[in-house]
Amino acid sequence: MTWLFVAVSAYMLMALSQLFDKALLNVAFKEVKAYVFIIAALGSLVVVLLPFGVSFLDLNLTLFALIGGALFVIALLPFLSALQGDEASRVIPLIGGTVPIVSLLGEVIFLGAELSNQDYLSFSLLVIGAIVLTLTKSETSKKRSWSAVIKALIGALLFGASFVITKYVFNNIDFVNGFFWMRIGGVIIALFLILQKDVRLGLKQFFTQNKNFVKAGYFGNQVLNGSGFVLQNYAISLASVGLVNALQGVQYIFVIIFVVLASRFKPSLLGEKISKRVLIEKITAILIIVAGIALLAM
């Protein structure tokens, strides 16, 4: 399946990017809104699509596209704040386990989607795997940050709403036009963010207090994340938004692999330490996720 390959590729890139996000929030950024501003502002690069058939839409579709893009950027605020306050291997699975539920319910209720029993079984396995991953405790921190949990859930609700709107937009217009106008929605949020004093101060601190390789790493990471995001949107345009989001279970596989490598070679980078017991728990969850992926591929 083309959409399956595209989605898996997207989640591999996004897993690596989100771990870089965690590392950068640990060492380079104190103000999450400033971090999100740059991400949203970089959406203006979507103007490169203008020669490829971008056109004005009817008013309703334009509004939906702008709202979908704006919600995605707004969702980054509680998500990255949660990531800053808790461990990546907890927050990312919690987000990913909740987003599919929201997006599937939205797709069925508002878009009239119909899924097979096999799709629902696959969806359930992926979500169960995500929940098991979320509940595992690391050796670094036995105590969960409930503030981070609440922020992660708010982010998941906003991401889910954004993805449902994204699917609605792609159901009615081509990929290039839909992607263009949704990114413009994110740029509009960037304009609101830059009006805030703490955002401008955070940007000033980032550009004046960090070495060039840190700044280059941030922008390189945005290229990585942007590539994954484009692939994820393309997968959504090809298949059910609920199933594409449920496939985020693959992302956790990559997250665990990257976290284990980081904990072995540079534990301070992500602030996580994974013991054999925790690794076994996470592998169990991954096996559940792999079973869900296998059902999707049939």
pLDDT tens digits, one per residue of 112-151: 877 778 878 877 887 787 777 667 665 555 555 678 878 9
In a 3-state reduction of DSSP, which class is residue 31?
coil
What is the model's pTM?
0.80
162: phi then psi, degrees, rounded to nearest 5 = -60, -40
The per-residue pLDDT for range 248-266, each reduced to its tens digit, is 777 777 877 887 777 776 6
pLDDT attached to residue 194: 95
pLDDT attached to residue 128: 83
pLDDT attached to residue 259: 76
What is the residue-wise DSSP string for 259-292?
A: HHHHHHH-HHHHT----HHHHHHHHHHHHHHHHH
The per-residue pLDDT for range 4-24, each reduced to its tens digit, is 888 888 988 988 888 888 888
**Selection from 258, 221, 184, 175 nearest residue 3 by Cα:** 175
Domain regions of the chain by residue span: 2-297
75 falls in which pLDDT band (50, 70, 90)? very high
* 110 and 242 Cβ atoms separated by less than 8 Å: no
- pLDDT, mean over the chain: 82
Q: Which of 71-75, 180-184, 287-291 has the lowest mean pLDDT?
A: 287-291
Query: Which range in 71-75, 170-174, 218-222 is most confidently predicted, on average pLDDT?
Result: 71-75
pLDDT above 70: residue 35: yes
Query: Which range in 35-44, 69-78, 173-182 is most confidently predicted, on average pLDDT?
Result: 69-78
Task: Please give the DSSP secondary-structure letter assigned to residue 195.
Answer: T
First to last CA, the chain: 9
> What is the average per-residue pLDDT within 28-46?
87
> What is the average per-residue pLDDT within 157-171?
91
Residue with the bigger pLDDT between 298 and 95: it is 95
Q: Which of 10-14, 42-46, 128-132, 230-234 has the lowest mean pLDDT?
A: 128-132
